[in-house]
């Protein structure tokens, strides 16, 4: 079973096989985590994503990682046309991201708190949903060694730490203070 880890810092700093990017239906990467990924990894990530859109909410597509340390970016559509989200959309997006990770054969994966920035979804509920969907998806990824929940700030970090504890999942911690 893969190790679950917490990272308080920029997802773009992680040296993993793939990172998950929160996405909207059109796959444009303008704000939040997606905007940060585009700024660090290059416009080619967004161009490759948009060519695959529009995508239904809950689906995920893959692009190369551009200038990132990650080889791939998995764009998980968790935001609707109004840039809102709900529990079902987040769960489907995480499950789709895990399916793409399986198809890619990744051993290391990083995933942020989908829907909690622009989407305004409550952190604690997003953490619970994400942890449960990742744990369910891990059973179909025998090669997976580590899933890192890449979070920004104390509130997000604590929400995911609590969700992991409630799920009885041991975790490792890291990231800049």
Instruction: Tell whether pTM > 0.85.
Output: yes
pLDDT at 2 over 60: yes
Q: Taking Cα atoms as reference points, which of 82, 73, 68, 14 lies closest to residue 49?
A: 73
What digits encode the pLDDT tens for the residues 123-153? 999 999 999 999 999 999 999 999 999 999 9
Please classify residue 85 by burial: count the beta carbons closer than 10 Å to its beta carbon, then call 0-12 exposed, 13-18 middle and 19+ buried.
buried
Which listed CATH number (2.60.120.560, 1.20.1560.10, 3.20.20.20, 3.40.220.10) goes with 3-174? 3.40.220.10
Mean pLDDT of the chain: 94
For range 11-35, the mean pLDDT: 95
The domain segmentation of the chain, as residue ranges, is: 3-174
């Amino acid at each position: 079973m893969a190790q679950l880890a917490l990272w308080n810092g920029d997802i773009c700093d992680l040296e993993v096989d793939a990172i998950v990017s929160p996405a909207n239906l059109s796959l444009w990467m303008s704000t939040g985590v997606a905007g940060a990924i585009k700024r660090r990894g290059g416009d080619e990530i967004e161009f490759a994503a948009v060519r695959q859109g529009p995508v239904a909410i809950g689906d995920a597509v893959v692009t190369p990682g551009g200038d990132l340390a990650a080889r791939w970016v998995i764009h998980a559509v968790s935001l609707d046309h109004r840039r809102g989200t709900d529990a079902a959309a987040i769960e489907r997006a995480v499950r789709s991201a895990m399916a793409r990770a399986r198809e890619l054969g990744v051993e290391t994966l990083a995933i942020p708190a989908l829907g909690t920035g622009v989407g305004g979804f409550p952190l604690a509920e997003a953490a619970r949903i994400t942890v449960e969907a990742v744990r369910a998806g891990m059973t179909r990824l025998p090669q997976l060694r580590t899933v890192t929940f890449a979070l920004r700030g104390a509130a997000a970090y604590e929400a995911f730490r609590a969700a992991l504890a409630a799920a009885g999942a041991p975790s490792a911690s890291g990231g800049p203070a």
